[in-house]
Structure 1
Amino acid sequence: MAGAYDDRDGKIWMNGQMVDWRSAQVHVLTHALHYASSVFEGERAYNGKIFLSRQHSERLHFSAGELDFQIPWTVDEIEAAKQEVLTANGFTDAYVRAVAWRGAGEDMGVAAARNPVNLAIAAWEWGSYYGDAKFKGAKLDIAKWKRPSPETIPVHAKASGLYMICTTSKHAAEAKGCSDALFMDYRGYVAEATGANIFFVKDGEVHTPKPDCFLNGLTRQTVIGMLQDRQVKVHERVIMPEEMESFEQCWLTGTAAEVTPVGQIGDYNFEVGALTREMSESYEKLVRS
C-alpha cells in the first residue's frame, strides 16, 4: 500500500466502528486541530502480534490523563480494536497508530470540556524508519530547539503538540542530508532524537540520558533490560554534548526506529560496532519471538 495517507484502500477503526479508509475523517473545527488536544501511540506488529501492545494502550490512557481528558474506551477494548484492524486489513507485519483527541463540539476556544473525545486506530505496512541507515549508521543533525522543562509541558505524555519542534528539526536535518536531529534539553544536556531515544557506548559500557524531561520509550526500557540481562553496565545519567567526542558507538531506539545504529552526530563520528549490531539483531529476534 502506498500513496497519500488519506487516499488508500483498507479499514480504520474509528469510535467503535470499522470504516472505509477514505471515510475516516474529522471536521475542520476539531479542537485537536487548533489546540493540539491529542495523544497517540506508534506500535509495530510482528508475525501478527503487536509488540508490547498492552503497555502502549495503557500509556495512551496515561497520556490522555496528562492532557486532562479521558478516553471512553478501556484498555481491553483498545486491545481488541487493534487486533480487529490488523485482521480487517490482512496484516501480520505492520505499523499500528492509535490516536485519541478532543473533537468538534460546543466549545471552540482553549477550553474544550464539553467536546467529545474520539479514538481511531489505523495500521499500514511500513519498513525501516531510517531506510538503509539501519545498517550503515544514521547521520544526525543537532537541533536548534531544546526539549523543554517539565514545569512547562507534560513531558512524559506522548502528546501530538510536543512533536511540533520534532517536525521542524527533522525538516532542517533532512535539508542537510541527515536522517534525523538530536535534541539537547533545556539545561543543555543530551536528550533524544525527534522520535527516538539515544544510547552511547564507551569501554564496553552503555550510557543513555535520564528521561526526566522527555519520553521514557518502551523500546528504550526493553533495550536497557536486554543489556542488563547480558551483564552490560548501563549508566542512565546526565550527558554533556562534548562527551560525544569520547563515545565509540551510538544507536537510537524507538518503535518506528527499532534499534538503529548512528554513524555521525554533527561533527562527532561513531563506529557501527559489535555491541550495536548485537543489540539490533537481538531486538529483531525478540520482537518476532
Structure 2
Amino acid sequence: MAGYDDRDGKIWMDGELVDWRDANVHIMTHAMHYASSVFEGERCYNGKIFKSVQHSERLRRSGELLDMPLPYSVAEIEAAKDATLKANGLTNAYVRAIAWRGAGEDMGIAATRNPVRMAVAVWEWGNYYGDAKMKGAKLDIAKWKRPSPETIPHDAKASGLYMICTMSKHAAEAKGCSDAMMFDYRGYVAEATGANIFFVKDGVVHTPLADGILNGITRQTVIGMLRAKGVEVVERRIEAHELEGMQQCWLTGTAAEITPVGQIGDYNFEVGQMVRDLSGEYEALVRA
C-alpha cells in the first residue's frame, strides 16, 4: 500500500477537488506548529455515510471550542464529502474531514489573522484492529492519563488531544498489543487511544461517564441500541480494581466499529454472546 502522501485520487480542499499528491500545505501552517486542528473520522457504507450530519455538526462545534470557527456550513461540509466520494468512485470508505489554521500573517500562539482551511479525504479501510474484531483485542494499560476538562476542551475532536494517544499506542504495539486503555486524570477508567470502552458484568453494561472524554457518536449509538433491547446500561465512574470482576469488554468508534476485547493488562474477558450479537446488529444498522 502506498504512503498516504503518494496515492491516486482526489481530495477536496477549500472548495476544490485537487489531485491527491497535490493536496499540500505550507510548512508555516499554524496547525503544524500549534496543533490548531480539528477533524472527524466517518465511514461510508453502501454509498451512505453513517450519521454524516452529526459528524459535520461536531466538526463545526469542535472548531468553535478551539476558537476557530469554520467557514463552511453543515450543508457545505456534507456536499464536500459527497463530492469527494464520487470523485474517487467509492461507496464503502473511511472519510476524514479536517479543518485547521493555515499559514497567514500570524506565526505565534495567536492566529486570528490566519485563514481556517478545510479538506476531505476518503479511502478504503478495513478493520481497524485487524483480526482482533473476531477474536478480541489485547490492550496495554497506558502510563499517560486523559487530561482534566479544566485544561483543554475534552469534548472537541482536536488533534492536540491525540498526542498522548499516539505515544500510548506505540508503547502498546511494542508489547504486542493492539491498543492501550487509558485512565483519566482522577484515575478512573477512561477510554482506549481512539475508541470508547464498555464492560459487562452479570448482564449489565457499564461504560465510563463522558465527563472527561469524547462522547463518541458510535458510543451514543451503541448505548441507544442496548437500551432499546432492554439491556441496562450504567454510565458511571469505573475504578481500576473493578476490571477483575468484568466478564466482557468491547471498544466502539467509527474506525473500531464494535471490537471485542480479550485482555487488558492482566485482566481477561470472554468474547461473549452480547458483544457478538451487538456487533452483528450494528453492522446491519450502518448498512441499512
- TM-score by structure 1 length? 0.99
| Aligned position for 2:77 | 78
| Aligned position for 2:150 | 151
For 2:208, the aligned partner's letter is: P
For 1:246, the aligned partner's letter is: G
Quick one: distance in 2 between partners of 1:62 and 1:73?
12
2:17 counterpart of 1:34: no
For 2:267, the aligned partner's letter is: Y
Quick one: distance in 2 between partners of 1:80 and 1:152?
34
2:274 counterpart of 1:284: no
For 1:147, the aligned partner's letter is: R
For 1:166, the aligned partner's letter is: C
For 2:90, the aligned partner's letter is: F
Q: Deviations over 1:86-121 (max 9, x none)?
A: 100000100000000000000000000000000000
| Aligned position for 1:218 | 217
* Matched residue SS, 1:88: helix
Q: Deviations over 1:66-96 (max 9, x none)?
A: 1001111100000011010110000010000
Q: % of aligned pairs identical?
A: 74
Runs of 4+ with deviation above 2 angstroms = none
| Aligned position for 2:247 | 248
For 2:43, the aligned partner's letter is: R
Q: Deviations over 1:34-92 (max 9, x none)?
A: 00000000000000000000000000000000100111110000001101011000001
Q: Deviations over 1:122-148 (max 9, x none)?
A: 000000000000000000000000001
| Aligned position for 2:130 | 131
Q: Deviations over 1:190-241 (max 9, x none)?
A: 0000000000001011000001001000000000000001000000001001
| Aligned position for 1:46 | 45
| Aligned position for 1:69 | 68
| Aligned position for 1:55 | 54
For 1:121, the aligned partner's letter is: V
Give structure 2 stretches of 5+ with no counterpart.
Answer: none
Quick one: distance in 1 between partners of 2:51 and 2:119?
19
For 2:52, the aligned partner's letter is: S
For 1:148, the aligned partner's letter is: P
| Aligned position for 1:117 | 116
| Aligned position for 1:190 | 189
Quick one: distance in 2 between partners of 1:153 and 1:12?
30
Quick one: distance in 1 between partners of 2:72 and 2:186?
38
* Matched residue SS, 2:82: helix
| Aligned position for 1:202 | 201
| Aligned position for 1:176 | 175
RMSD value, Cα: 0.4
Quick one: distance in 2 between partners of 1:203 and 1:25?
52
Number of paired residues? 288
For 1:89, the aligned partner's letter is: N
* Matched residue SS, 1:107: coil
* Matched residue SS, 1:259: strand
2:235 counterpart of 1:236: yes
Cα shift at 1:3? 1.1
Quick one: distance in 2 between partners of 1:181 and 1:3?
27
Quick one: distance in 2 between partners of 1:128 and 1:171?
18
For 1:51, the aligned partner's letter is: F
* Matched residue SS, 1:147: coil
* Matched residue SS, 1:276: helix
Quick one: distance in 1 between partners of 2:63 and 2:90?
28
Quick one: distance in 2 between partners of 1:253 and 1:66?
24
* Matched residue SS, 1:260: strand
Quick one: distance in 2 between partners of 1:232 and 1:18?
45
Quick one: distance in 1 between partners of 2:219 and 2:7?
32
* Matched residue SS, 2:129: coil
Give structure 1 stretches of 5+ with no counterpart.
Answer: none
- TM-score by structure 2 length? 1.00
